[in-house]
Structure formats: C-alpha cells, structure tokens
Chain A
Amino acid sequence: MNKEERLIKRYKAEKRFQFYGKAAIFMALLFLVVFLTKIFSTGYTAFQKTWLVIPVNYNADLLYLDPDKKPTTEDINDADFYEFGIETFITLDPNASEDQIMELKKMFAFTFERELKYYLLDNPDSFGKTVDVKLTASDDLDQVFKGNYPRDIPENRRRASDYQLKIFDKLNEDGRVISEFNASFFTNADSREAELAGIASSFMGSLFSILVCLSIAFPVALLAAVYLEEFAPKNRFTDFIEVNINNLAAVPSIVFGLLGLGVLLAVFGLPRSTPLVGGITLSLMTLPTIIIAARASLKAVPPSIREAALAMGASKMQTTMHHTVPLALPGTLSGTIIGLAQALGETAPLILIGMVAFVNTIPGTPMDPAASLPVQIYIWAESAERGFVEKVSACIMVLLFFLIFMNLGAQLIRHKFEKKWN
C-alpha cells in the first residue's frame, strides 16, 4: 500500500466515523419521533366521544306517573328509568327477541338511566312528548365508530355482535350517531367502563401530591442548601452530608417507595393510598435534586456581593437573607420545578404506598384515597378492555403536556430572572 492509498483509506475511515455519529443522533431522534407519533395517533381519538341520538317518548304510563299533572323533581327522581330505558330501546327494533333486547341495552353505557332522568329534569316540558335524547354509546360501539376496532373478524371473537352493528349502522345512516368532544374524560373519575372513565380523580391526586411535595421539599431544600453553602464549617460532617445528598439523588425511586411503606405507613401510621403519603415520599425523592440546584445557584452568586453587604455592616445572616438568597432564587425555583416534574411522572413509589387503588370518587383533600396520573396510566394499561388503550394514550398526552409546560416554565424563569455574572 502506498502513501496515497493509505491517505484515501484514512479519509474514508474519517467519513465513516462521522457517519456513525450522525446515525446515532438520528436514531435517538427517530426513537423520539416514533414514540410521540405512536402515542398521539392512538390517543387523539379519546378526546372524542360517540353518542347515539334516539327518539324517546316520555310517556307518563311508561314512567308510571300521573299524565295530567306536571311531575315534580321528586316524582322524576323516584321514577324507574331502567324499565323505561328498556322500553325505549325496543322502539329501535320492535321485533326484537329477549336476547336481542339485552343486546340493544348493551349498545349504551350503563349510565343510560341517569342520562334519561337528567334530560327530563333539565327539560320538564318534554314530559308526555317524544324527543331526541343523546345517550352515551357503549365502549365497543365507540371503538367501532372510531375505526379502532376491526369489523371484519368472525362474530364470536368480536365484542359487538352482528345484530348490534346492524342497528348501529341503521342509526348511523339516519345521522343519529354523533361524535363530540369528550368532556367527561376530564370531569369523570376512574370507572370500570372505558366509555365513562376519566382522569379527574387521578389529576386531583397528582395535584395534591405535588402540592404536598412542594410545600415540604422546597423550604427544607432551600434552607439546607443555604446552610451548606453559606454557614457550614468545612469539616468531615459537612462532607458526609454532601456525599449523602449526591448518593441520595441516584437512589432508585422504588427504594423511596419502600421507605414510605416501611416508615410512613408502618411506623407513623399515616393513612394508606393518600396523596399526603405520596407527597411526602416524593418530597424525600426530590429533596436532593432541589438541594443540588439551589447550591449551584448560590455558588454562582459572586463573592463581591457578599463582601459589599458585609462591608456595609450587615451581619452574615442579613447578607445571606437579603442579598445572596434572593439572587439565587430564580435558579433554585427552576431547579424546584424540574424536580417537581420528575416527581409528577413518578409511578413506582406511589404503587408501593397503595395509590393504585381503584378510586371512583374525586378526592377533595390530600387525606382521601387517590391515584395519580402516571399510576392511572399503569392501571389502564394493565386492563384488558380495548377502549382503555386510547384512554392510556390520551392520559399520557395530558401528562406530557404538564411536563412540557413545567419544563418550559423552568426555562422561562431561568432566562428571564437569572442574573448573568461576568
């Protein structure tokens, strides 16, 4: 091999190496794109909900009410809307057999009784008349209508029967199947029925946990960082605290779950499954993150600021509280938000302290049992029903939205308020 050829070979190696680097970056970006596309393409349908608009005859006889008197709210509340609903469904196919009537009923969410009742309560004038009422479609038909569910597989492997599909198609031709924004996804608590399940309970659980976490972790971490950076003597004990903080930041999150279970629940007897315990556990986890961020921004405040304050006769404490800490606050705050964003996405420790319970009420205080958004994702992902797949993706979209929002907030605080010292 002569000199020329060797040079060509070396240049080729150079090109190859650069290509590997580009390919690696491309791969990493590709993963992100594939990942986000997959989540969004499966999730966006969950923001729509399918309704069936059917004619309902609010006949007094069917409801066992007095036809001559306008019913009071109490009368309506006492009336039996289950039987009434069944009678109404039969009007969709008057020749339906017993089994087919059951199938007709299953085309609707089991809340049809309540929906029929509330319509009459809201529109008392429709008493005695036939009106169009919007009822939530069952999860199976919802999925069929959104095209998430194949129709051409054999009937016995399908959740929606041929009969249901026939009736459904007829309704669809008449324009009686409508798709609207799924508000109940944001206002309902969790439910066993996919068409009714919402994120309100887990959202409140997450909110309470994060608030508890913030109110513990932020003050403690800030004060600890101030002590370590401004007051602590340089000795073995201080070094030990420092090593401790660095190691704590890298302890797997599930170990904090064991801590919450073994100490907060078993020793202190705090209530299980509550955002209070979840928040305390998460605060212990985010503590090191915030301390490290706060120390870094305290360190970035130039010594001249402190010296100027001291020279004016301020005490060490006054210098710190009046000058150093306010200057370090933007950095600390953005570190806190990033720590909280981590805590918001955390699942494993919350599972261990029991925040995976099925909660179908919206928690009002941090002492009520609740799930959290990531745990809700886990619960839904583990359930077999088809309708939950889009719910999981939609819940992920909501969670990612909050995470992006928080991270942008942290960036904004950093750029807007942090002083650059040169």
Chain B
Amino acid sequence: MNSVIFLTIVLLALSSYFFGRKKAILIQSNKRLTALPKFYGYYLAIWCGAPAFLLYALWSIFEPSIVRFFILSDYSSQGLLEGELNLFYEKVKSLSRNQYSGELTAELQRSAEKYLNFRDIAKWSKVVIVLSLLIASTGYAYTKISNNTKTREPVEIFLKGVFFLSSLAAILTTIGIIFSLLFQTIEFFQVIPLFDFVFGMHWYPAKAFVRDASEALDPSMYSDTFGAVPIFAGTFFIALIAMCVAIPIGLLSGIYMAEYASKRLRQYAKPVIEILAGIPTVVYGFFAALTVGPFLKDLGLSLGLEVSAESALAAGGVMGIMIIPFISSLSDDVITSVPQNLRDGSYAMGATKSETIKRVIIPAALPGIVGSILLGVSRAIGETMIVVMASGLAANLTLNPLESTSTITAQIVVILIGDQQFGDPKTQAAFALGLSLFIVTLVLNIVALSVVKKYREKYE
C-alpha cells in the first residue's frame, strides 16, 4: 500500500512536469516568458510532489504511535505499568495479524478489532488527505503560472535546499553514532559504576547471564564482571605488535619509494603494495587463523616454547601486514613533498643520500610521518575481524605475545553476535566499549589529521 502511494506521487509529479511545460509553451506563443519552459515544468512538479511527499513521510512516521495512543487510552488510566501496556499492545498487534496463540480475553479481542478499525481508517484517510493536498498544491501552482511568474529562482532554491540537506547526512550519521552509543552507555553506567568499568581487572561478560528482569537491576550480580582493563590492555598490546611490524616495513618502503626507486619500480610496486590495503579484513583473519597461528605454534614447539594457537602475535603480526600500505603510502607522499632545495643543500655539503634522508628529510617530514603512524594506530585499534578470528576471545591480562588476548572490537562482536536483548547490561557493555573505541580513534584521527594538515601548509 505504502509503495503504491509513493509511486503514485512520483508518477503524478513526473506528469505534472509535462503539464507545466505545455502551459508555458502555450503562453510563450503570444507573450515573453521569464524562464525556459522546462522550469515551469519543474516548478509544477515540485509543487505537486514535495508537499504531498512530506505529508506522507510525516504521516508514516507518526501513525503507529498515534494509533497506539488511541488503543491504549482506554487502559492507561487503569494504573498499568509501561511494560504491561507494551506487552498488551504487542498481543493486540499479533492477534490482529492472526498470529496470536496465547489466552484470548474479551478485552484483547475488542482492542484488536479496534486496532484493525483504526488502521483501516488511518490508511484510507492517509490516501485521501495526501492526494487532496497533492491536488490542491498542484492546482494552486498551475493557476499561478503566467508569463511573469518567477519559476527558475524557486526551483533553484528548492534544489539548493535538497543539496544542503544531503550535506547534513554526514552530521546526522555522527549524531546517530553518538546518540546510539551514549544512550546505551549511560544506562550501562547506572548499573555498573564507571570506576569499576575503567579500573576493574576482570572481564567475564558471560557471567552476566540474566534470568529475569528483577535480577537485571541488582548491581551486586555484576561485581567483578565488567572491568575493562584487560580489554583495553589487550587492544593496545595487539596494536603495538601490529605497529612493530608495520612501522619499520612501511616507513622503509615509503622512503625507498620516494627517494631511491626508479620510475618503473614505483609504477609497479606501489599499486601492488596497496593491494594489501584492499584485501578484506576477514580474509586476513582467515589467513592468520589458518596459516600464521598454527605456523607459530609449530615453530614455538620446535624451540621449546608454549605458543597458543590463537596468539596475540599471530593477530598483531597479520594486522601489521595490513597496515603497511597505509604507512608506506602516506609517508611516501609526505617525503615527496619535502622541497628539493633542502636535499640540494645537504648534497652540496657533501652528505650521502642516506645521510641526507636520515638527518634532513626525515626531521623535515617528521610531523607528516607521525601523522601517518597515528592513522595506522587508529586503524589497528579499530580492526575487528582479524582479532575475532585469530586471537582469543577470553580477556586475559597478559604481556606475553604468545598467549591469547582480546580487544575492544572482538568483545563487541562476542557480545552482540546472535540475538541481543536491549536493556541487558551485557548488551549495554558492548555499547560502552564502542563509545570508548569511538573516542580513542576520534582523538587519534583529529590529532593525526591536524598534524598532517599543519605540515602540508608549511611547505605549500
């Protein structure tokens, strides 16, 4: 039904374009127009489609809650709790779809009939009201069209408005992220003290298995369950291992590409290295779990070391490989943009190429390099699938790279995979972890981007 209304609006708007243009052409035969005939078409199409669509959208958003209000208004005065009302309303809805299998009361039956009735009224009044608004606005615009109506300006202002709204999408996304994370996190901290979360040493979310609603609000159940220190430590530890792989290889290859490599090598090797950044992370995860993990385990056995099959080293090492291209490309760009006269000055003093690089170019490019490393760290902290598949899921507080550890991202996946119950501290804990992840990466990105930007301005 909804899609029929939507299509009708679209089709009517399209056809009114032709009516508007036709009228303009008719006027044109004896009077001069103020805009091209097609603008009259657009003008009419916008007047036809936009108000009707807006009303239709608002109606669709508010209809469910208004119907709910009318149905429940008979019962809400009886002193029922919000939860009971919700349950009752769900029952009414499933009964109206003939999917209800519980106990049937007269009250329920009456409400279900009323519900169907209301839905019917709502549906048809929506059709009638939206269509009459459409006809009214189109008719108004049609009669307004004359040789000296301004049509181009309103159409352009409308388009500009649409463009502006599109540019708000990014802000809305950010607001959505913050809203969804913050909302759940605040509820989480109403049950778990912030101090326990930030400084607690034990993380066993599986312990917080809630059997019924009364238990959920009992904080004593969660003591020593949601201490995030092992998770934070694991996250930074794995990121550290990753950077130990990525920084030397990425930086050295970036330097070589920028300073030594012939044009041909650069032309071929650079895109090939960048393939590493384009491989999906789940593929790296599989590689780490299937190949690197067992390889390290066997290697450890032959050296007499106990290596877990899901070690932090395997996950971190493979993650490092993934980050190489981020660091090499960015540092390559940064080094290439160091002005040539710095190099010439150094050569003129008799320095070799490597001395020039080490003593002149790298110090000059340092802010940019640091920025690229920070971006790499932020990637490593936010990386999910490699850790989920290759490192353990149990949160051990350890500094031994041969044991398994867990990270923020992996724990979010562990908690939220499968069915989630909103309002359960376990689910909320995942959102609290998400918020900490968001803040950490945001700070890293802002710092990194501003460092790189400042650096670019220095040499431009």
Contact = CB atoms under 8 A, between A and B. Distances in A.
Interface of A: 10-11, 13-14, 16-18, 20-25, 27-29, 31-32, 35, 38-39, 42, 219-221, 223-224, 226-228, 231-232, 240-241, 244-248, 250-259, 261-263, 266-267, 284, 287-288, 291, 315-317, 341-342, 344-348, 351-352, 356, 374-375, 377-378, 381-382, 389, 392-393, 396, 399-400, 403, 407
A252 B325 CA distance: 17
A224 B163 contact: yes
Contact of A403 (B181, B278, B385): B278
Interface residues of B, number: 87
B282 A287 contact: no
B286 A396 contact: yes
Contact of A253 (B279, B384, B417): B384
A258 B152 contact: no
A243 to B, nearest CB: 8
B166 A255 contact: no
B402 interface: no
A244 to B, nearest CB: 5
30 contacts: A11-B352, A18-B260, A20-B252, A24-B248, A24-B251, A24-B252, A25-B261, A32-B272, A35-B287, A224-B167, A224-B169, A241-B168, A251-B441, A252-B441, A254-B412, A255-B181, A255-B434, A257-B416, A258-B180, A262-B179, A263-B179, A266-B180, A316-B156, A347-B281, A352-B412, A381-B286, A392-B290, A396-B283, A399-B283, A400-B283
Contacts of B168: 241
Given A28-B273, A347-B281, A250 B167 contact: no
Residue in A255, A256, A257, A341 whose Cβ sees the most chain B Cβ within 10 Å: A255
Interface string B314-340: 000000010011001000000000000
Given A28-B328, A29-B273, A287 B352 contact: no
Given A267-B180, A348-B281, A351-B413, 18 more contacts: A13-B354, A21-B260, A23-B252, A25-B252, A28-B250, A31-B324, A223-B163, A248-B170, A252-B378, A254-B413, A254-B437, A258-B181, A262-B179, A341-B278, A348-B384, A352-B412, A352-B413, A381-B290
Contacts of B164: 227, 231
Contacts of A259: 173, 176-177, 180
Contacts of A263: 176, 179-180
A287 B163 contact: no
A18 B282 contact: no
Interface string B248-282: 11111101110011000000010011011011111
B169 A18 contact: no
Contacts of B378: 250, 252
Contacts of B156: 315-317
A348 B409 contact: yes
A227 to B, nearest CB: 4
Contacts of A407: 278
B417 A14 contact: no
A36 to B, nearest CB: 9
Contacts of B152: 315
Contacts of A381: 282, 285-286, 289-290, 389
A341 B117 CA distance: 48
A260 to B, nearest CB: 9
B251 to A, nearest CB: 8
B441 A348 contact: no
A247 B445 contact: yes
A252 B384 contact: yes
A247 B442 contact: yes
B269 A25 contact: yes
A27 B273 CA distance: 10
A32 B352 CA distance: 33
A21 B446 CA distance: 30
Contacts of B449: 246-247
A252 B380 CA distance: 9
Contacts of B355: 10, 13-14
Contacts of A257: 412, 416
B174 A244 contact: yes
Residue in B166, B352, B381, B418 whose Cβ sees the most chain A Cβ within 10 Å: B166
A252 B383 contact: yes
B434 A231 contact: no
B162 interface: yes
Given A28-B276, A29-B273, A262-B431, A250 B375 contact: yes
A29 to B, nearest CB: 6
Contacts of A345: 278-283
B8 interface: no
Contacts of A378: 282, 285, 385, 388-389
A351 B417 contact: yes
Contact of A25 (B174, B253, B281, B353): B253
Contact of B282 (A24, A247, A317, A377): A377
B123 interface: no
B382 A253 contact: yes
A352 B430 CA distance: 11
Interface of B: 152, 156, 159-160, 162-164, 166-171, 173-174, 176-177, 179-181, 183-184, 248-253, 255-257, 260-261, 269, 272-273, 275-276, 278-283, 285-287, 289-291, 321, 324-325, 328, 352-355, 357-358, 375, 378, 381-385, 388-389, 409, 412-413, 416-418, 420, 422, 430-431, 434, 437-438, 441-442, 445-446, 449
B230 to A, nearest CB: 19
Nearest to A240: B171
Nearest to B273: A28
Residue in B169, B255, B291 whose Cβ sees the most chain A Cβ within 10 Å: B169
What are the 5 tightest A-B residue pairs by CB atom distance, in nearest-first order? A252-B382, A21-B256, A345-B280, A262-B180, A24-B252
Given A24-B252, A25-B253, A347-B385, A31 B282 contact: no
A228 B164 CA distance: 8
Contact of B353 (A14, A223, A245, A393): A14
A24 B181 CA distance: 40
A219 B166 CA distance: 9
Nearest to B383: A252
B166 A224 contact: yes
Nearest to A285: B173
Given A250-B441, A251-B442, A258 B430 contact: yes
A248 B269 contact: no
Contacts of B160: 227, 231, 317
A231 B159 CA distance: 11
A346 B280 contact: yes
A18 B255 CA distance: 10
A259 B285 CA distance: 23
A279 B342 CA distance: 49
Nearest to A249: B445
Nearest to A376: B282
B152 to A, nearest CB: 7
A255 B438 contact: yes
B174 to A, nearest CB: 6
B417 A356 contact: yes
A31 B276 contact: yes
A74 to B, nearest CB: 32
A24 B253 contact: yes
A351 B413 CA distance: 7
A13 B261 CA distance: 18
A247 B447 CA distance: 11
Residue in A221, A253, A352 whose Cβ sees the most chain B Cβ within 10 Å: A352
A342 B321 CA distance: 18
